[in-house]
Amino acid sequence: PSPFLDVRDLRVHFPTEDGLVKSVDGVSFTLERGQTLGIVGESGSGKSVTSLALLGLHKGTRARVSGEIWLEGRELVALPEQEMRALRGRTVSMIFQDPLSALHPFFTVGAQIAEAYRVHHKVSKQEARDRAVEMLKRVGIPQPERRAKDYPHQFSGGMRQRAMIAMSLVCDPALLIADEPTTALDVTVQAQILDLIRDLQEEFGSAVVIITHDLGVVADLADDILVVYGGRRVEYGSTHDVLKQPRHPYTWGLLQSMPHLTGDVGVRLNPIPGSPPSLINLPGGCAFHPRCSYKGWALEGRCTLERPELRTVPGTGRHLAACHLTEEAKQEIHGGGPARA
Ligand code: SF4
Ligand code: MG
- What pLDDT does 186 receive? 81
pLDDT digits (tens, 9 = 90+) for 177-229: 999 888 878 888 888 888 899 988 888 889 999 999 889 889 989 999 999 99
User: Domain total for the chain?
Assistant: 1
What's the CA-to-centroid distance between 285 and ligand 1, angstroms? 9
Q: Which ligand is nearest to the CA of 51?
A: 2
Lowest mean pLDDT among 52-66, 206-220, 250-264, 303-317: 250-264
Residue 11 lies in a domain: yes
pLDDT tier at 303, thresholds 50, 70, 90 = very high
Q: Which ligand is nearest to the CA of 48?
A: 2
What's the CA-to-centroid distance between 179 and ligand 2, angstroms? 7
Q: Cα separation of 261 and 254, whole Å?
A: 12
Residue 130 lies in a domain: no
What's the CA-to-centroid distance between 128 and ligand 2, angstroms? 32
183/326: higher pLDDT? 326
Q: Which residue range forms the structural domain that includes residue 20?
A: 1-91+173-341
Residue 165 lies in a domain: no
Q: What percent of the chain has pLDDT over 90?
A: 66
Residue 120 lies in a domain: no
What's the CA-to-centroid distance between 297 and ligand 1, angstroms? 9
Counting from 1 in the atom list of ligand 1, the atom nearest the Cα of 303 is 2
Average pLDDT on 25-52 reads 91
Lowest mean pLDDT among 4-13, 58-67, 98-107: 98-107
Rounded mean pLDDT of the chain? Answer: 90
pLDDT tier at 339, thresholds 50, 70, 90 = very low
Residue 304 lies in a domain: yes
- What pLDDT does 306 receive? 95
Average pLDDT on 305-327 reads 94
pTM of the model: 0.92
Residue 269 has pLDDT above 90, yes or no: no
- What pLDDT does 84 receive? 93
- What pLDDT does 4 receive? 95
Residues having CB within 6 Å of any atom of ligand 1: 248-249, 286, 288-289, 292, 294-295, 298, 303, 308, 323-325
Residue 341 lies in a domain: yes
Rg, C-alpha atoms of the chain: 21
Counting from 1 in the atom list of ligand 1, the atom nearest the Cα of 289 is 7
* Probe residue for ligand 1, chosen from 232, 291, 292 as the CB with the greatest number of ligand atoms within 8 Å: 292
- What pLDDT does 260 receive? 52
Counting from 1 in the atom list of ligand 1, the atom nearest the Cα of 294 is 8
What's the CA-to-centroid distance between 15 and ligand 1, angstroms? 29
Q: Which ligand is nearest to the CA of 49?
A: 2
pLDDT digits (tens, 9 = 90+) for 94-148: 988 777 778 899 999 999 999 999 999 999 999 999 999 999 999 999 999 999 9
- What pLDDT does 268 receive? 52
pLDDT tier at 259, thresholds 50, 70, 90 = low
E strand intervals along 218-340: 224-229, 232-238, 311-312, 320-321
3-class secondary structure per residue, the chain: CCCCEEEEEEEEEEEECCEEEEEEEEEEEEECCCCEEEEECCCCCCHHHHHHHHCCCCCCCCCEEEEEEEECCEECCCCCHHHHHHHECCCEEEECCCHHHHCCCCCCHHHHHHHHHHCCCCCCHHHHHHHHHHHHHHCCCCCHHHHCCCCHHHCCHHHHHHHHHHHHHCCCCCEEEEECCCCCCCHHHHHHHHHHHHHHHHHHCCEEEEEECCHHHHHCCCCEEEEEECCEEEEEEEHHHHHHCCCCHHHHHHHHCCCHHHCCCCCCCCCCCCCCCCCCCCCCCCCCHHHCCCHHHCCCCHHHHCCCCCEECCCCCCCEECCCCCHHHHHHHHCCCCCCC
* Probe residue for ligand 1, chosen from 250, 289, 313, 334 as the CB with the greatest number of ligand atoms within 8 Å: 289
- What pLDDT does 82 receive? 92
Counting from 1 in the atom list of ligand 1, the atom nearest the Cα of 297 is 8
Counting from 1 in the atom list of ligand 1, the atom nearest the Cα of 324 is 5
- What pLDDT does 336 receive? 57
Average pLDDT on 315-323 reads 94
Residue 150 lies in a domain: no
- What pLDDT does 262 receive? 45
Tell me, what's the ipTM?
Answer: 0.95
Q: Tell me, what CATH number does 18's domain have? A: 3.40.50.300
31/261: higher pLDDT? 31
Residue 121 lies in a domain: no
What's the CA-to-centroid distance between 123 and ligand 2, angstroms? 35
